[in-house]
Amino acid sequence: MSNQPNVLMITTDHWPARLLGCADHPDIETPTLDQLARNGVRFTNAYSECPVCIPARRSLMTGMSPRAHGDRTFQTTLKMPEVPTMAQTFRDAGYQAYAVGKIHVFPQRDRIGFNDVILCEEGRPHWGVTDDYEVFLGDKGFAGRQFDHGMSNNEYVTRTWHLPEECHVTNWTTREMARMIRRRDPSRPGFWYLSYTHPHPPLVPVETYWNMYRDTQPELPHWGEWAQDFEQLPYRLKQQRSNWHCESERDIRTALRAFYALCTHIDHQLRIVLGTLREEGLIDNTIIAFTADHGDMLGNHGLWAKRLYYENSANVPMIVVEPEANPQLTPGTVDGRLVGWQDIMPTLLGLAGIEVPDSVTGQSMFTAAPREHLYGECNEGETATRMIHNGRYKLIYYPAGNRRQLFDLESDPFECHDLSSSSEHAGVLDDLTSRLVAELYGSDLGWLEDDQLVGIPAPDFQQSSTRDLSLQRGTHWPYPPVVPPGPGKSSCIK
**DSSP letter for each residue of 160-185:** ---S-GGGSHHHHHHHHHHHHHHTS-
SS3 of residue 335 by DSSP? strand
Rounded to 5 degrees, what are φ and ψ at 6? Answer: -75, 165
CATH topology of domain 6-369: Alkaline Phosphatase, subunit A (3.40.720)
CA distance 248 to 239: 19
Mean pLDDT confidence for 291-317: 97
Express as a percent the part of the chain with pLDDT over 90. Answer: 88
CA distance 307 to 324: 37
Distance of CA 147 to the CA centre of its chain: 22
Cβ-proximal residues to 305 (8 Å cutoff; 6+ apart), any chain:
14, 154, 240, 244, 296, 297, 313
CA dihedral (17, 23, 29, 35) positive or negative: positive
For helices 31-39 and 249-279, the axis angle rounded to 10 degrees is: 50
Which of 256, 265, 252, 167 is closest to 209 using CA atoms?
265
Cβ-proximal residues to 102 (8 Å cutoff; 6+ apart), any chain:
11, 13, 119, 120, 121, 122, 195, 196, 197
Q: Output the pLDDT for position 492.
A: 41
Cβ-proximal residues to 114 (8 Å cutoff; 6+ apart), any chain:
87, 91, 97, 98, 99, 193
Which of 455, 11, 345 is closest to 198 using CA atoms?
11
Residue 25 predicted with pLDDT over 70: yes
471 or 382, greater pLDDT? 382
Domain ranges (residues) in the chain: 6-369
Q: What is the dihedral of CA 164, 169, 171, 175, to 10 degrees?
A: 120
Given a contact cutoff of 8 angstroms between Cβ atoms, the answer to whether 112 and 191 are in contact is no
Residue 485 predicted with pLDDT over 70: no
Q: For residue 338, what pLDDT band results from cuts at 50, 70 and 90?
A: very high
Average pLDDT over all residues of the chain? 95
The tens digit of pLDDT for each residue in 122-164 reads 988 877 889 999 999 999 999 999 999 999 999 999 999 999 9
Cβ-proximal residues to 294 (8 Å cutoff; 6+ apart), any chain:
13, 14, 48, 51, 52, 53, 56, 306, 313, 314, 316
Residue 483 predicted with pLDDT over 80: no
Q: For residue 192, what pLDDT band results from cuts at 50, 70 and 90?
A: very high
